[in-house]
């Protein structure tokens, strides 16, 4: 799989592929958007590490690290807003779909409680958790949150996730070399962040302080 993704990074279409994957994984969390971003960043790092001999070690066309970062952040925000708008207009049909899933119901109840207490940081944490982005974006729209309340957190969440993923691929390759090991360790770190985020989201919210 890593070899296949590695070959894709030599294509000028890598930015479009990353953007499409990041936009759509708010609806299809199984898409490997994080894997694509890390692999593309690793290819950029490999080109820099190769130096004058780059033409013999890496493909001639490699992603630009800044363009990759901007692409990932922009696509993340666009995907969030698409899900948010869809949920705002979903009405009773979306409510029925959520009600059929106990897990989604609990997640949306937790999101409502967190946002009502000013817990917008949950949007950032959820961006790293599997399917967390979907729950947050759809939940914010379903609760009719204002754009100005959701959009800044979406931008922050997308920037944090994209910055983390790009940094993993880029610096992981620089530190561990241009072999599969650097990419593999970076992917493990990405999944570890997702597991930690999922744990934090599942933690019970602190209740109100009893009056004395």
Residue 135 domain-assigned?
A: yes
Residue 145 domain-assigned?
A: yes
Select from 120, 188, 199 the least CA-distant residue to 160: 120
Residue 17 domain-assigned?
A: yes
In angstroms, the CA 130 to CA 146 distance is 25
Entry pTM = 0.78
Residue 69 domain-assigned?
A: yes
Residue ranges making up the domain that contains 40: 2-202
What tens-digit pLDDT sequence spans the chain (212 residues)? 445 445 555 667 889 999 999 999 988 887 888 888 988 888 887 765 544 444 444 444 667 899 999 999 999 999 999 999 988 887 666 666 666 667 666 666 666 666 555 567 888 888 898 788 888 888 888 778 888 888 999 999 999 999 999 998 888 877 776 566 666 787 788 888 888 887 776 665 454 444 44
Residue 212 domain-assigned?
A: no
Residue 209 domain-assigned?
A: no
How many domains would you assign to the chain? 1
Do the Cβ atoms of 76 and 158 come closer than 8 Å?
Answer: yes
Residue 122 domain-assigned?
A: yes
Reduce the DSSP state of residue 57 to 3 states and report it. helix
Do the Cβ atoms of 34 and 165 come closer than 8 Å?
Answer: yes
Residue 207 domain-assigned?
A: no
Reduce the DSSP state of residue 80 to 3 states and report it. helix
């Amino acid at each position: 799989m890593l070899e296949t993704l590695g070959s894709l990074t030599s294509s000028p279409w890598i930015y479009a592929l990353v953007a499409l994957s990041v936009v759509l994984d708010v609806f299809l969390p199984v898409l490997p958007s994080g894997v694509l971003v890390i692999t593309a960043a690793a290819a950029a790092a490999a080109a820099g590490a190769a130096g004058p001999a780059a033409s013999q070690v890496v493909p001639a066309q490699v992603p630009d690290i800044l363009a990759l970062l901007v692409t990932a952040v922009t696509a993340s925000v666009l995907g969030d807003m698409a899900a948010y708008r869809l949920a705002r207009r979903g009405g009773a049909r979306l409510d029925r779909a959520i009600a059929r899933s106990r897990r989604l119901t609990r997640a949306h109840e937790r999101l409502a409680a967190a946002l009502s207490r000013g817990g917008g940081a949950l949007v950032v944490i959820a961006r790293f958790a599997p399917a967390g982005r979907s729950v947050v974006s759809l939940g914010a729209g379903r609760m009719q949150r204002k754009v100005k309340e959701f959009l800044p957190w979406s931008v922050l969440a997308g920037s944090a996730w994209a910055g983390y993923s790009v940094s993993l691929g880029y610096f992981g390759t620089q530190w561990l070399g241009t072999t599969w090991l650097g990419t593999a360790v970076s992917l493990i770190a990405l999944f570890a962040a997702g597991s930690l985020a999922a744990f934090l989201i599942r933690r019970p919210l602190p209740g109100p302080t009893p009056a004395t």
